[in-house]
A and B are shown apart, each in its own frame.
Chain A
């Protein structure tokens, strides 16, 4: 197999709240023989904040990341859908020559905007080699929750079906997990509103968790730090508020991959989640 290397942009969340996503992603890539070279001195992509304040800033912050990858002469990848979406948007808008020039001007260096930008999820989905599974995760039932930014908008970011994406389901099915069909794959969790408007997020997340439970899932598989945070850290409050009992661990797909590849739950930081997945995994003899 040819050795493939990527410029790796973890983004802010993965270096704090979502460390387990970062760690598990790196482990999985390494195990698959795919190299991630973290960009040096990378900076924030601006998330949804920058574009709402200043349009150009919303392009220039991701622009710097793109430009760094250009310097490294590598295809750019990131696990975080928010970052991915910002990077893609910037690249998309910079297809317009004037915009590209303007961003270059802000960055004080020419940005070519020709390199590939793919999320780690897509790279793994399209990886057709052996997944090096040592320990299939049989007995586990899960639903995949994709959230918004990997599937929308169509022309900019989507690499999977808009309403019924398959990528995570396909990957996790290969691990031996029974993936269930459900109706909330791409519904919104409220994103960053969990800080300024937690009420909205409670309502949305309640629905999603209820849907997962109804489908018969033991846990929810995710690929987004924000989704993970909203579904995991708000779960207790929601259970209290709506007088329900979910106890649904929210696990990154890379953590499940790592587990199947033989890494320990601790190595994959599976003990960092607020809704503890360990009892479930131990119960099934998987951790």
Chain B
């Protein structure tokens, strides 16, 4: 982890209990077998593995565990959760770390965080998600201007993407209101 600095482990850290509370998982049950990592679709592309995330929490390394790419590359596929011999819901832990990071305004993988935000924006704007718009906005906002563009012509030709957003007025109003009220009430 990190690889170039000395770690000062903190037993029973505040961070550990925060993650345990947020996720409802017993992190100290993890005996570092690596089964989660071995099956994880994203681990190979991330800076730390899911097992190392669990270890980092055990050691109380709050900064590093909130600022890595793994928690963002996790797609909640639950493979880790299904196979963990200690019955830890690792996917839930990842989700909790994402939430904690978001609350602190951290996001190591800005693109993915951005994608999530735009997704919600799209839902807010139309009540339902407009996938073409989502892709387009994403490309513009992320700066990956040409990402996925190669696909566009064939997808449009096949009618796979609707060119116009299919808004629904009532749904739109409802979603807007829900987003407002949820942000208001979250944490209360």
Direct contact between A and B judged by beta carbons closer than 8 A: yes
Contacts of B79 in A (CB 8 A): 148, 152, 186-188
Contacting pair A273 B186 (CB below 8 A): no
Residue of B nearest to A18 (CB): B160
Which of these, A49, A60, A197, contacts B73 with CB under 8 Å?
A197
CA distance A17 to B148 in the complex (A): 15
Tally of chain B residues near chain A (CB < 8 A)? 66
Q: Is residue A272 contacting chain B, with contact meaning CB distance below 8 A?
A: yes
Q: How many angstroms between the C-alpha atoms of A198 and B73 in the bound complex?
A: 11
Shortest beta-carbon distance from B118 to chain A in Å: 8
Q: Once the chains bind, are A42 and B171 in contact (CB under 8 Å)?
A: yes
How many pairs of residues, A versus B, come closer than 8 Å at their CB atoms? Answer: 188
A-facing residues in B47-93 (Cβ within 8 Å): 73, 75-79, 81-82, 89, 91
Q: Report how far A58 CA is from B89 CA in the complex, Å.
A: 18
Minimum CB–CB distance from A95 to chain B (whole Å) comes to 13
Give CA–CA (A34, B45) in the complex, Å. Answer: 44
CB neighbors of B among A230-286 (8 A): 233, 237, 271-274
Chain B residues within 8 Å of A16, by CB:
129-132, 160-162, 166
Contacts of B81 in A (CB 8 A): 152-153
Q: Is the CB of B161 within 8 A of A44?
A: no
The answer to whether B91 and A153 touch across the interface, beta carbons within 8 angstroms, is: yes
Q: A27 contacts the other chain (Cβ, under 8 Å)?
A: no
Contacts of A43 in B (CB 8 A): 123, 127-128, 168, 171-172, 174-175
- Total interface residues on A, CB under 8 Å, equals 61
Query: With A43-B127, A50-B120, A52-B95 known to touch, is A272 a contact of B159 (CB < 8 Å)?
Result: yes
Contact B128 A15 (CB under 8 A): yes
Among B112, B115, B171, point to the contact of A41 (Cβ < 8 A): B171
Known: A43-B175, A52-B98. Is A196-B159 also a contact (CB below 8 A)?
A: no
- Given contacts A17-B155, A46-B123, A148-B77, 15 further A-B pairs with CB under 8 A are A15-B128, A17-B161, A19-B160, A40-B170, A43-B168, A43-B171, A49-B116, A52-B98, A55-B186, A106-B181, A107-B178, A153-B81, A154-B82, A196-B111, A197-B73
What 7 A-B pairs have minimum CB-CB distances, sorted nearest first? A152-B78, A188-B77, A43-B171, A41-B170, A49-B119, A44-B123, A57-B182
Contacts A/B (CB < 8 Å), 30 sampled: A12-B123, A17-B161, A41-B127, A43-B127, A43-B171, A44-B171, A46-B123, A52-B98, A53-B117, A55-B186, A57-B178, A57-B179, A61-B175, A102-B185, A106-B182, A107-B178, A152-B81, A153-B82, A154-B82, A196-B109, A196-B111, A196-B138, A196-B142, A197-B45, A197-B112, A233-B151, A233-B160, A237-B150, A272-B160, A273-B158
